[in-house]
Structure 1
Amino acid sequence: MPAQPQFVPGTGVPPAEDELRLPRPPGVIRRFWSRHPLLADILIAVVALLLTLPAIFVRGPVPDPVSGWSVAAGFALSTLGCAALVWRRRWPIGVFVISLLPFLGADPTPGAAMGGPAALIALYSIAVYRTARACWIAFGAASALIATQTLVRILLDSSSWGMQVNVDVSAIVLLLIGALVGVNVGNRRRYLDALIERSRQLLIERDQQARLAAAAERTRIAREMHDIVSHSLTVVVALAEGATATDDAARASEATRAIARTARVALAEMRVMLGVLRDDDSLVPLAPLGQVSVHDVVAQARATGAPVTLNVTGVADVTPAVALALVRIVKEGLTNAIRYSRRPSTIRVSVVYGAAGTQVSIENDGAVPDAPSEGAGLGLRGLQERVDHVGGTMDAGSPASGTWRLRAWMPGRDDRDD
C-alpha cells in the first residue's frame, strides 16, 4: 500500500500532490549490509554456489553417460563464476562473462543449471552498477551466444535437439528475469541518486542566492546610509560653520533652525530605514519614504550659503524610482560641490523633463585642476548603481578646466504602464 503524504499540523493545508516524497530510511538490516558490502557479496557468492552444487552432483537420466572430467570442469567453472561474484560491484561485466562459461561447456545437459544463479546475479549487477543499456546489451550478446551454440550442437548431433533447446531456452529466460529485476532496481537507484544530488545542488544554490541577496541588501543599505548621512551632515556642518562665523544674531539663529530642520529630516529618514530593517514581514521598500523634491534639496544647499541655481524645464511626470534617483543625484552633486570645491562662484543644477527621459546635471566652477580626489568614490558608485537600476546612464568628470559636472539621464515613464 503506498504511503500517504504526511499532513503537518498547524499549517492548515495538506501537502501538494507533486511534493517531493523521499523514501523511508533503511532499516537496521539494510544499514548493516550497506556498511559491509564485501561481506554481503561473499554471502551471495556462497549462496549461489550452494544452489549450483545440486545441479552438478545430482544428475537426471540422459541419453549418454556424462564423463567425470566433464563434471569436474563444470564444477570448476561454476565455482569460478560464483567466486567472481565477490567483485560484481566493481567489474560486473567481467564477472558476467566468467559466469557464462558453464553455459558454454562441453556437456550441454547441466550447463544452464550450473551457471544459472551466478549468471543471473551478474547480469542483475550490470543493470544496478552500470546502466540499463549495458545490461540489455549483455543480455542480447549472451542470448545470441547461447542460441548460436544451440544451433551448432543441433547440426552436429540432432538426436537430442529437443533437450538442448529446452535447456538453452531456460537459460535465456533465467537471464531475462535477472535483467528485468536489475533494470527495475537500477533505474530506481539511479533516480534516487539523482534526487539526492539535485537536493544537494538546490541547497548549494539556495546558500549562494542567500549570500548574493545579503550582499545586494548590504549594498543597498550602504547606498541609502551614504545618501542620508553624507548630505545631511554636510549641510549641518556648513550651517554650523556659518552660524559660528557670523556676528549677526538673526542669521545665526536662522542657521541654527536650519540645522534643526535638516537633522529632523535625516532622523525621520533613518527611522524609516531602520524600521524596514527590523520588520522581517514588511513589504515597504528599503528606500526612505517622503515627499522630498529637487527644490527642497536645493533650498537646503542655499541655506548653507552655497551659490546654487536651479533650472527646471518640462513637466515632472516620472516613476517613483526615477524621482527618488533624481533627488539622490542632486543631493550627491550638491554635497560634493559644497565639500570638495574651492569657493565656487556658481553651482548650477539643471533638470530637463522630456517624453524620452529626464536629464539632470550639477556643475560647479570650483574644481581644482589635477587635484587628487578627497572622497572615497562610494557616493558616485552608489549613484551609478541606482541609475543602472532604472535603466539610465551617468557620467562624472571635468568638461573644462576648473569645472566639475555630474550628469545623468534616466528613461521616462512607459506609456504601457499608465
Structure 2
Amino acid sequence: MTSGNRSSTSPDDELRLPRPPGVMRRFWARHPRIADVLVAGVCLLVSLVPATSFRGDGDAVGIARYWPMTGPVVVGLVILGCASLLLRRRFPRAVFVLAVVVAHAYLLAPVAVGGLLLCMSAYSLAVYRSTRACLIGVGIALGSLATSAAVLGLTGVIGPAIAWNAVIGEAVVTTIGALIGTNVGNRKRYVAALIDRSRQLVVERDQQTQLAAASERERIARELHDIVAHSLTVMVALAEGVAASTEMDRARPGATAIATTGREALRDMRATLGVLRDPDAAPLAPLARDTAAETIASARAAGFDATLTVAGERPELSSAVQLAISRIAQEAVTNAIRHARGATRIDLRIAYEPASVTITVTDDGEPLDAPPVATGGYGLRGLRERVELTGGAVEAGPAPGRGWRVRAVLPLEQENHDESS
C-alpha cells in the first residue's frame, strides 16, 4: 500500500503551494463565473444607461436625427459586447474586437457616451493572452477610432464633443485597463512559470532518485556476485578435494579452508548489506581493501599453483581504485578456476606505475570455454562495468602459447570518476 501511494503522488501534491492571500481574492479565484457576471453587469449599466437616456426628435440636427433608426443598433451592439465579457477568459481577442466595434458604434449616438467595455477587454487581453497582444490591439483600436472620429467630425456628421470623447475618453480608460492588465498578467505568468519549474524539479528529482536506486541496485548486485561467485567457486573446489580424499589428515586442511572461505564471504556480505542499513555510510567503503593475497590463497587451497607478483611502488590508492583492483583480481581468478579446462597454474600480476595500475591474470588451461569480455556472462560484464567506472580499460583473450589472459589498466587519478559514480 505504501509503494502504491507513493507512485500515485503527483507533482502538484508535493509542491504544497500556499493559499492565495486575502479572503476576497480566494473567493474570486474559486468563483470566476461570478466575477465575470458582475463585470459584465457593471459594464452594461455604465455603457447602456447614457445611450438610452436620449430621445431623438424631428428638430435634432446631425446624427441625432437618425437616432430612432441607429439607436437599436447601438444598444444591441452594447448589449452584445457586454455579454461577450462572460467569455473574456477563453476568447479575449474576440471580446476585444467586439469592444472596438462598440466603441465605433458610440460615434453614432447623439450625445457623447462611453463605457468600460474597451477598458475591460484590454485588461482581459493583457491577462489572458500577452502584453504584446494587448499593446498591438490597443494601438490598432485607438488608431482606427481616432481615424473614424476625425473623418466623421470633419464631414460634420458628428459634433466635436462626440469626437473628442471617442478619442480622449476611450484612450484614457483603455490605457488604464491595459496598464493594470499588463501588471496582473505579467505577475500571473511569472507565478505560473515558477510553479511549472517547480513541477519540473519535482519530476527531475523523482527521476534522479529512480536512476540512483537503479544504479545502486546494479552496484550491489555486482558486489554480491563477486563475493558469492568467488567464495562458492573456491568452496566447491575445496569440497570436491575433501570428498576425493580418503585420509582424514589430508582432508582436514581442506575443510578448514572451506570454513574460512565461508566466514570471509559472510563478512563481506554483512559489510555490503551494512552500507544499505546505514544511510550515513559511504557506498561500499567497508569493502575497499586489498584482497589480492586472499584471492591467491583461496586458489592455492583449491589445488592450483597460484602466484602473486607485485611490481612497482604501491602509491596511496583511492577506495574506488582499491576496490576495483581487488574485484578484478577476484573475478579473473574465479573465472580461471571455473572455466579454464586442465589449468594447473594461475598467475596474478599487479604492476603500479606513476599514473596507472595494471592487473594481469593468466592461466595455463585451454581457453575454449573462456569468453571474451565483450560477450561474457554477468561476472565478466560486471568486471567491464567496474573498470569503466574508474575510467580504465580491460581486454581478455588467449595468452601467448596456452591459456587465457585478462588484463585491466586503471588510472590512478580518480577525482572525476568518483564524483560521477
Give the superposition deviation at 1:290.
6.2
Unmatched runs of 5 consecutive residues or more in structure 1:
1-19
Change (3 A) 1:110 1:362: farther
Q: Structure 2: how far apart are the matches of 1:242 and 1:126?
A: 88
Comparing 125-134 with 45-54, which one deviates more in the overlay? 45-54
The residue correspondences of 1:17-416 to structure 2 (distance < 5 A) are: 22-25=17-20, 41-59=36-54, 65=64, 67-105=67-105, 106-107=107-108, 110=111, 112-113=113-114, 116-157=115-156, 160-161=159-160, 164-280=163-279, 282-289=280-287, 291-317=289-315, 318-369=317-368, 377-399=377-399, 403-413=403-413
Q: Structure 2: how far apart are the matches of 1:189 and 1:371?
A: 66
Report the equivalent of 1:6: none
Give the superposition deviation at 1:51.
2.3
- Letter paired with 1:51: V
Change (3 A) 1:73 1:111: farther
- Cα pair 2:233 2:334 within 8 Å, conserved: yes
Give the superposition deviation at 1:337.
0.8
- Cα pair 1:313 1:352 within 8 Å, conserved: yes
1:321-354 alpha-carbon deviations (Å, 9 max, x no partner)? 2122111111101111111121213222222111
- Cα pair 2:113 2:162 within 8 Å, conserved: no
Comparing 322-331 with 178-187, which one deviates more in the overlay? 178-187
Change (3 A) 1:87 1:359: same
Change (3 A) 1:40 1:401: farther
Change (3 A) 1:371 1:290: closer
Q: Structure 1: how far apart are the matches of 2:298 and 2:235?
A: 10
Report the equivalent of 1:12: none
Q: Structure 2: how far apart are the matches of 1:300 and 1:99?
A: 91
1:291-322 alpha-carbon deviations (Å, 9 max, x no partner)? 43322221221111112223321112133321
Report the equivalent of 2:6: none
For the residue of structure 2 that corresponds to 1:407, the secondary structure is strand
Report the equivalent of 1:9: none
Give the superposition deviation at 1:214.
0.7
Unmatched runs of 5 consecutive residues or more in structure 2:
1-14, 417-421
For the residue of structure 1 that corresponds to 2:287, the secondary structure is coil
Q: Structure 2: how far apart are the matches of 1:340 and 1:213?
A: 34
Change (3 A) 1:249 1:72: same
1:189-215 alpha-carbon deviations (Å, 9 max, x no partner)? 222222222222222112111111110
Higher helix share: 2
For the residue of structure 1 that corresponds to 2:307, the secondary structure is strand
Q: Structure 1: how far apart are the matches of 2:35 and 2:270?
A: 67
- Cα pair 2:350 2:357 within 8 Å, conserved: yes
1:225-254 alpha-carbon deviations (Å, 9 max, x no partner)? 111111111112212221222234333222
Q: Structure 1: how far apart are the matches of 2:415 and 2:209?
A: 35
Q: Structure 1: how far apart are the matches of 2:54 and 2:18?
A: 46
Give the superposition deviation at 1:368.
4.8
- Letter paired with 1:285: P
Give the superposition deviation at 1:89.
2.5
Comparing 229-238 with 391-400, which one deviates more in the overlay? 391-400
Give the superposition deviation at 1:40.
5.2
- Cα pair 2:40 2:82 within 8 Å, conserved: yes
For the residue of structure 2 that corresponds to 1:331, the secondary structure is helix
Comparing 351-360 with 152-161, which one deviates more in the overlay? 152-161
Give the TM-score normalised by the residue count of structure 2. 0.83
Q: Structure 1: how far apart are the matches of 2:413 and 2:129?
A: 60
- Cα pair 1:369 1:401 within 8 Å, conserved: no
- Letter paired with 1:304: A
- Letter paired with 1:79: I
Comparing 238-247 with 329-338, which one deviates more in the overlay? 238-247
For the residue of structure 1 that corresponds to 2:368, the secondary structure is coil
For the residue of structure 2 that corresponds to 1:360, the secondary structure is strand
Comparing 256-265 with 161-170, which one deviates more in the overlay? 161-170
Give the superposition deviation at 1:139.
0.8
For the residue of structure 1 that corresponds to 2:116, the secondary structure is helix
Of all paired residues, the percent bearing the same amino acid is 45
Q: Structure 1: how far apart are the matches of 2:37 and 2:348?
A: 87
Change (3 A) 1:111 1:283: farther
Comparing 244-253 with 139-148, which one deviates more in the overlay? 244-253
- Cα pair 1:109 1:167 within 8 Å, conserved: no
Give the superposition deviation at 1:407.
1.2
Comparing 252-261 with 364-373, which one deviates more in the overlay? 364-373
- Cα pair 2:289 2:322 within 8 Å, conserved: no
Q: Structure 2: how far apart are the matches of 1:350 and 1:87?
A: 81
